[in-house]
Amino acid sequence: MNFLQPDFAPAYPEIFLLVMVCVVLLADLAWGEKKPHVAYLLTQVALLGCALITFGTSTPDVVHTFSGMFVDDPMADILKMLVYIAVSTVLIYSRSYIAVRGMLSGEFFSLALFATLGMMVMISASHFLTLYLGLELLSLSLYSMVALRRDSVEATEAAIKFFVLGALASGFLLYGMSMVYGSTGSLHIARITEVIQSGAINHAVLVVGLVFIVAGISFKLYVAPFHMWAPDVYQGAPTAVVLFIGSAPNLAAFGFIMRLLVEGMGAMVADWQGMLIILAVTSMMIGNLAAIAQTNIKRMLAYSTISHMGFMLLGIIAADENGYSSSMFYVVIYVLMTLGTFGIIMLLSREGFEAEKLDDFKGLNRRNPWYAFIMLLLMFSMAGIPPTVGIYAKLSVLQAVLSAGYIWLAVVAVLFSLIGAFYYLRIVKLMYFDEPETDAPILPQNDVKLMISANGLAVLAFGIFPQALMALCAYAIQRSI
């Protein structure tokens, strides 16, 4: 039996990160109690190292390794770089928050790195098993992070709901993959595409498998009607963990959709387009209407996420390179907005107090005009109001849908977007026109102050000059799909 030595170079970032997870755990064991910031610093070093390795090993070509189970292409490299930036930003925002709540430990950082590793595997998978392994590594890490505050009843309840529904969704996904395997005789994405295009399949069996796969993906994307876990998890989990869940994993989920639906089952586009249209409309409707009734800002942002993921699906529905690149642009901008929004929420939180109610934002302009301005930019961007970048994110997916001939779908999306503007502008009204309920000072550390300012100004800068990021997303799709 001849064993072919795989090319390890495309997987160097994943290998390095796995080694660094072990280093973080050992460092925490040695110095965790006396120097809890060692684990934080090592985690940031790990992310920086991954970014340098990814940049050094990137090529404009598509490279397969590990018997075709792992792929390195421009889309994977760009998504991974964005994941590193998002996770690093999450950790900067979260450090003070988790320190005063007894969560500044090696467990938090090692779970964050394991989740990052799962995202990287999802992004570079070219085999159904690799996709599933990456997804489960991410999911199990997130379940544990939600339950990390063992003294919190709300966090424990949220973790149980997240775990039970997540296990159900994983079962759907695995069952769907087994149906595809039974119909095509392969789990390799490239081979599945060839078999489907040849027509030598049982189409009915394949469609049943596709239904289960889309259901499993929908859970991971917060898409209605598989969204029921998101509001409870957002409300019950520590804000630092919610920020992690709501940011970088969305980039991996986009990569997951591209590998599974577009690359693997692109020949069945007529079948999954209809499913995604239903999911997109349902998500925009439920997300925007339910968010209006919320008084808890984390719960409101959970429903906001549901509506944004419905918008993101519009580009996938268009089923062309322009649509896919617009969806990628949308999810990148959404992650940028989410990072800043939850960063402000953690900024207003302090020891013994969680800034979770909408009323906690009353009079923020009088307490700190700069952070109120940053929040205003973020809310305008979420609502799609110029000159912030959110307007270009929405316009790009709407243009893709119109080009594909779905005029009615674009009209529905615009109507629900107008409804959604209400609850974003309500926060602006609270900050600028209401009296503050507290005069507690807002005293962030210098790195947090700098990062939040850069985050908010990036939303404005990309709104004025969006072309570079749009071109980057278009390049990633054109060179990879």
pLDDT digits (tens, 9 = 90+) for 3-27: 577 778 888 899 999 999 999 988 8
Least confident of 153-157, 377-381, 471-475: 153-157
Nearest-angstrom CA–CA distance, 348 and 298: 13
Residue 380 CA, chain-centre distance (Å), reads 20
Q: What confidence category does residue 339 fall into, taking pLDDT thresholds of 50, 70 and 90?
A: very high
Q: For residue 193, give the nearest of 275, 269, 276, 277 by alpha carbon.
A: 269
Does the pLDDT of residue 444 top 50, yes or no?
yes
Whole-prediction pTM value?
A: 0.93
Residue 47 burial (CB count, 10 A): 23
pLDDT at 147: 87
Report pLDDT digits (tens) over 276-285: 999 999 999 9
Upstream peptide bond of 387 is cis (omega within 30 degrees of 0): yes
Q: Which residue has the tokens 């990628």?
A: 328
Q: What number is the average pLDDT over the span 350-358?
A: 76
- For residue 359, give the H/E element and its range: none
Nearest-angstrom CA–CA distance, 395 and 314: 11
Does the pLDDT of residue 32 top 70, yes or no?
no
Q: What confidence category does residue 381 fall into, taking pLDDT thresholds of 50, 70 and 90?
A: very high
Q: What number is the average pLDDT over the span 188-198?
A: 85
Query: Can you give the residue ranges of every domain in the chain?
Result: 9-480
In the chain, the percentage of residues whose pLDDT exceeds 90 is 42
- Greater pLDDT, 417 or 152: 417
pLDDT at 120: 93
In the chain, the percentage of residues whose pLDDT exceeds 70 is 98
Region of 68 (left: φ > 0; alpha: ψ -120 to 50; beta: rest) is left
- Greater pLDDT, 5 or 172: 172
Q: What confidence category does residue 243 fall into, taking pLDDT thresholds of 50, 70 and 90?
A: very high
Write out 193-227 in H/E/C secondary structure. HHHHHHCCCCHHHHHHHHHHHHHHHHHHCCCCCCC
Q: What number is the average pLDDT over the span 198-219?
A: 85
Nearest-angstrom CA–CA distance, 315 and 334: 14
pLDDT at 461: 92
Does the pLDDT of residue 2 top 60, yes or no?
no
Q: Are 244 and 300 in contact (CB under 8 A)?
A: no
Least confident of 43-52, 258-267, 469-478: 258-267
Does the pLDDT of residue 376 top 90, yes or no?
yes
Q: Which residue has the tokens 């970032």?
A: 13
Nearest-angstrom CA–CA distance, 444 and 434: 23
Q: What number is the average pLDDT over the span 261-267?
A: 83
Using the Cα atoms of residue 159, residue 165, residue 171 and residue 173 in order, give the sign of their dihedral.
Answer: negative
Q: Which residues contact 240 (CB under 8 A, 6 or more apart)?
A: 90, 93, 94, 97, 98, 103, 346
Does the pLDDT of residue 1 top 50, yes or no?
no
Does the pLDDT of residue 274 top 70, yes or no?
yes
pLDDT at 6: 77
Q: What's the whole-number average pLDDT of the chain?
A: 88
Q: Are 43 and 24 in contact (CB under 8 A)?
A: yes
Tokens of 124: 């570079």
Tokens of 143: 């379940």
Residue 367 CA, chain-centre distance (Å), reads 31
Number of helices (H), then strands (E), belonging to the chain: the values are: 20, 2
β-partners of residue 125 are: 70
Does the pLDDT of residue 180 top 50, yes or no?
yes
Q: What number is the average pLDDT over the span 419-428?
A: 91
Side-chain half-sphere exposure of 419, counting CA atoms within 13 A: 20
Q: Which residues contact 262 (CB under 8 A, 6 or more apart)?
A: 316, 324, 481
Nearest-angstrom CA–CA distance, 56 and 15: 14
Side-chain half-sphere exposure of 440, counting CA atoms within 13 A: 15
Least confident of 37-51, 86-100, 149-163, 290-304: 149-163
Does the pLDDT of residue 34 top 80, yes or no?
no
Residue spans of alpha helices (H) in 147-268: 153-184, 189-198, 203-220, 229-236, 239-246, 248-257
- For residue 70, give the H/E element and its range: strand 70-72
pLDDT at 412: 93
Region of 237 (left: φ > 0; alpha: ψ -120 to 50; beta: rest) is beta
Rg of the chain, C-alpha, whole Å: 22
Q: What number is the average pLDDT over the span 319-334?
A: 91
Highest mean pLDDT among 74-78, 99-103, 269-273: 74-78
Q: Are 262 and 324 in contact (CB under 8 A)?
A: yes
Nearest-angstrom CA–CA distance, 40 and 331: 27
Does the pLDDT of residue 378 top 80, yes or no?
yes
Report pLDDT digits (tens) over 292-315: 988 889 999 999 999 999 999 999
Phi then psi for residue 265, to 5 deg, are -125, 30
Q: What confidence category does residue 81 fall into, taking pLDDT thresholds of 50, 70 and 90?
A: very high
Nearest-angstrom CA–CA distance, 347 and 356: 11
Region of 444 (left: φ > 0; alpha: ψ -120 to 50; beta: rest) is beta
